[in-house]
Amino acid sequence: MTLQTLTYLVVGASFALYIAIALRTRAASTGDFYVAGGGVHPIANGMATAADWMSAASFISMAGLIAFLGYDGSVYLMGWTGGYVLLALLLAPYLRKFGKFTVPDFIGDRYDSSAARLVAVLCLIFVSFTYVAGQMRGVGIVFSRFLEVDLGVGLVIGMAIVFFYAVLGGMKGITYTQVAQYCVLITAYTVPAIFIALQVTGTPVPQLAFGATLPGESITVLEKLDGVVTELGFRAYTDGAKSTLDVFCVTAALMAGTAGLPHVIVRFFTVPKVSDARRSAFWALAFIAVLYTTAPAVGALARLNLHATLQPGPMTEPAGSLAYAERPGWMKTWEATGLLRFEDKNGDGRIQYYGDANPAFAAQAEAYGWAGNELTVDPDILVLANPEIAQLPDWVIALIAAGGIAAALSTAAGLLLVISSAVSHDLLRRTFVPELTDKQELRAGRLAAAGAILLAGYLGYNPPGFVAQVVAFAFGLAAASLFPALLLGIFSLRMNAAGAISGMLTGLLFTLGYIVAFKGVFMAPLFPNTADAWLLGISPEGIGALGMVLNFAVAFTVSAFTAPPSPATRALVENLRIPRGAGDAKAH
Amino acid sequence: MHDPSHRAYWRANLALIARCLGLWFLASFGGGILFREALDAFTVLGVPAGFWFAQQGAIWVFLAVLAYYGWASHRLDQKFDVDDD
């Protein structure tokens, strides 16, 4: 059987499974649609949360970014998992006790203000669409490579599948589909990792292979890798290029952003009790940790394999570099997608892949007869190409395709549901059309989800940059807008609507403005995106941390000069601090 | 919080959260970022310790923190008779 047929088979089988689950768990009420009736077991919920939260960025991009960034890639590992701790400790139990459907619901009720609810909806829509754009690019990459269909056709298939189970099944369908998707994606991630760990180090556990000694040599994987990459003029793998302050800020922004992401928070409304919300958070992190501790090993081993493929002999001899005509099949197929490019700068018909931006290496490269780096590798392809680079069997490669699609679709579905509930519940029923019935609200929700899918598909067809980067901006926006408002709503009795609203708007506008000024969304960047031009040396990826500090500062200042919240609001906050008495999540 | 036992519960709860966040900060911002270079003099499982904290250790500590929090917060709920079982 060819790889192509096998891929269709594996991906097709996984789709059939998701659709079967969606059909069995169709939502009948708004409660089922938004929060699965509040009755999902903590372990199942933890697994669904893990699938929801591990997006295309985690699955497809992260290990590739780590492979090329080395130490700097740690921000994604610590940031995304550490944010989970913030969410579990500071928000999840209290929002579960509060027991409403959506994040704007909480903000609107806690601050007793429709304006606050509207601002929260605005922040939520910005965050969710930025995030969904990243997912759709991931889907596009997987489809265009493995199904070898046109990107547009692939996207339409993906959109139809998401529409089917998110729109018909609602949260209940999504929850059980995501349990299945977790199983698919984690198998797809760990199986090739185990194979490669065995191949390179003889240890089957990737987490141990990460520091293992290479067989027949006296050095470890990382020592070898540091040696190989510095010899080629790259920065040592265990070194970082980012300043300590920037690493600190990016990590902080990713952490607070994870905690402020609406589609992850809403997950905690689906368990029966407050204590279940805490247990569920532990399980979710445990399921996430399986992938997140495997990723650094995948990154390091893939980088090692990549260099071994491209530079099989010594650099002093011209024949040490791989001849372009003898390149392996995976390079040819990735070249077709445009995500891998070769340019024979010195015209010797061989591939020289080295750090040509390093002035200290320039003289050496010239002595070898090299005229610049000739290979451009998009980090997004590394995880997908990894099994092919390591020459693993075809079924493993097919599995990776199914896993990547599962990761992107499960997250996209969760986000679309959050967007649709923001429109039908928060905007229509709670703000503009209060006389809406349950049934009409459900219909409006499905319509909004359909609209959101179309827009997401458009964004996927015209993708804005690297998956993980786009996603990192969504986290920055969430950190600077929603997270402080949620945190203060629970931990401060004095915080009022004026403070929360001005804080959210300051954080959102500052962070968005900074990102647009340096990265240029729908316009040319105003400033060069370099460390010298950045405010305090903080990159656009990390600016959400500063936006969050501004949000807190503005919120405290404004609330100190305006009237304290009403006794009813105080009673609400005092009530949500006590676990006892959490009923099912309710609409009102 | 007009009920004094609820007030005492909330104080104990805040202390628990502070302990957990302390560990969270030490493992990630501490071990993986601020003290990385000093820690790199040691190795954990064959990896320089600071680098290991940044790419592996912090995640394991996070998991331990959530396990501890789940257990300790439930005990706290029972002690102050506010649990939801």
Query: ipTM of the assembly?
Result: 0.93
Question: pLDDT > 90: what percent of chain A?
Answer: 14
Residue B2, in any domain of the structure: yes
Q: Give the gap in angstroms from C-alpha B1 to the nearest C-alpha of chain A.
A: 6
Q: Is residue B54 part of a domain?
A: yes
* More confident of the two residues A244 and A552: A552
Residue B74 lies in a domain: yes
Chain A residue closest to B77 (CA)? A579
* Facing residue for A278 by CB, picked from B56, B63, B70: B70
Across the interface, whether the CB atoms of A208 and B56 are under 8 A apart is answered no
| Average pLDDT of the residues in B30-47 | 85
Q: What is the Cα–Cα distance from A78 to B56, expressed in whole angstroms? A: 9
Contacts of B59 in chain A (CB under 8 A): 77-78, 81, 289, 292-293
Residues of B engaging A, defined by a Cβ cutoff of 8 Å: 1, 6, 9-10, 13, 17, 20-21, 24, 28-29, 32-34, 40, 43-48, 51-52, 54-56, 58-60, 62-63, 65-67, 69-70, 73-74, 77, 82-85
Task: Name the residue facing A579 among B1, B51, B84 (closest C-beta).
Answer: B84
Chain B contacts in chain A segment 209-228 (CB below 8 A): 210-213, 220-222
Q: How would you class A556 by CB atoms within 10 Å of its CB: exposed for 0-12, middle for 13-18, buried for 19 or more? A: middle
Domain that holds residue B48: 1-16+41-85
Whole-number pLDDT of residue A587: 41
Return all residues near A300 (Cβ < 8 A) that are at least 6 apart.
Answer: A66, A67, A210, A221, A222, A225, A237
**Residue B31 lies inside a defined structural domain of this protein:** no
B56 vs A296: CB contact, 8 Å cut-off? yes
Using one digit for the tens of pLDDT, what is the confidence trace for A5-30? 888 888 888 888 877 887 776 655 55
pLDDT of residue A557: 96
- Is B74's CB within 8 Å of A574's CB? no
Q: Is the pLDDT of residue B18 over 90?
A: yes
> What pLDDT was estimated at residue A37?
47
Among the residue ranges A182-191, A292-301, A343-352, B1-10, the one predicted with the least confidence is B1-10
Which structure tokens are listed for B81? 């008779």
- DSSP three-state, residue A99: coil
Q: Can you give the pLDDT at residue B49?
A: 84
C-alpha distance from B53 to closest chain A C-alpha (Å): 9
pLDDT band at A251 (very low <50, low <70, confident <90, very high): very high
At residue A207, the pLDDT reads 86
What does pLDDT average to over chain A? 81
pTM (2 decimals)? 0.87
Backbone angles phi, psi at B65, to 5 degrees: -60, -45
Contacts of A74 in chain B (CB under 8 A): 32, 51, 54-55
Residues in B closer than 8 angstroms to A579, CB to CB, are 77, 82-84
Per the structure, how many domains does chain B have?
A: 1
**Contact A244/B at CB under 8 A:** yes
- A93 in B contact zone (CB under 8 Å): yes
Say whether A275 and B10 touch across the interface (CB within 8 A): no
| Highest mean pLDDT, choosing among A391-400, A430-439, A496-505 | A496-505
Cβ A222–B47 below 8 Å, yes or no?
A: yes
| Nearest-neighbour CA in chain A from B66: distance (Å) | 5
Are A574 and A91 in contact by the 8 Å Cβ rule? The answer is no
Q: Would you say residue A325 has pLDDT above 80?
A: yes
Domains, chain A, ranges and CATH?
25-304+387-576 (1.20.1730.10)
Contact A81 B55 (CB under 8 A): no
Q: How confident is the model at residue A588 (pLDDT cuts 50, 70, 90)?
A: very low
Q: Which residue of A has its CA nearest to B29?
A: A248
Interface contact flag, B59 A81, Cβ < 8 Å: yes
Task: Among A36-50, A72-86, A219-233, A502-516, name the one with the lowest average pLDDT.
Answer: A36-50
Query: Smallest Cβ distance to B65: which of A85, A273, A292?
Result: A85
Q: Do A279 and B67 touch (CB under 8 A)?
A: no
| Cα–Cα distance for residue pair A516/A534, rounded to 1 Å | 13
Inter-chain touch A210–B55, beta carbons under 8 Å: yes
pLDDT at residue A177, rounded to an integer: 80
Residue A579 sits at the chain B interface (C-beta within 8 Å): yes
- On the question of pLDDT at A545 being above 80, the answer is yes
Going from the C-alpha of A21 to that of each of A9, A47, A172, A181, A240, the distances in angstroms are: 18, 15, 10, 11, 45
For residue B35, tell me if it sits in a domain. Answer: no
Whether residues A282 and B70 touch (CB distance < 8 A) is answered with yes
- For residue range A430-485, what is the model confidence (pLDDT) as tens digits? 777 777 777 787 788 778 888 888 887 777 776 555 555 666 777 888 899 889 99
Distance from CA of B84 to the nearest CA of A (A): 4
pLDDT at residue A32, rounded to an integer: 55
Residue B82 lies in a domain: yes
B70 belongs to a structural domain: yes
A175-197 mean pLDDT: 87
pLDDT for res A507: 93
Pick A38 or A47 by higher pLDDT.
A47
Rounded distance, CA B3 to CA A514, Å?
46
Q: What mean pLDDT do residues A394-416 have?
A: 82
Q: How many Cβ atoms from other residues are within 10 Å of residue A567's Cβ?
A: 8
pLDDT digits (tens, 9 = 90+) for A113-140: 888 888 888 888 877 877 777 777 777 7
**Closest-CA distance of chain A to residue B32, Å:** 8
Contacts A–B by Cβ distance under 8 A: 136
Find, in chain A, the residue whose alpha carbon is nearest to that of B75.
A275
Chain B residue whose CA is closest to A294: B56
Partner residue opposite B66 with nearest CB, options A78, A221, A281: A281
Our CA dihedral for A11, A191, A186, A27, rounded to 10 degrees, sits at: 30
Cα B39 from Cα B53, distance rounded (Å): 9
Q: What pLDDT band is residue A211 in, cutting at 50, 70 and 90?
A: confident
Examine residue B83 and state whether it is found in any structural domain, yes or no: yes
Place A586 in a pLDDT band, splitting at 50, 70 and 90: very low
Tell me if A580 and B82 make a contact (CB, 8 A cut-off).
yes
Q: How far apart are CA B10 and CA A577, in angstroms?
A: 7
- Chain A residues lying within 8 Å of B29, measured CB to CB: 248, 251-252
Other CB atoms within a 10 A radius of the CB of residue B23 amount to 17
Give yes or no for a contact between A277 and A264, defined as CB atoms under 8 angstroms apart.
Answer: no
Q: How confident is the model at residue A308, as a pLDDT?
A: 85
Min Cα distance B81 → chain A (Å) is: 9
Q: If pLDDT is split at 50, 70 and 90, which confidence band does B14 have?
A: very high
For residue A357, the number of C-alpha atoms closer than 13 Å in the C-beta half-sphere is: 3
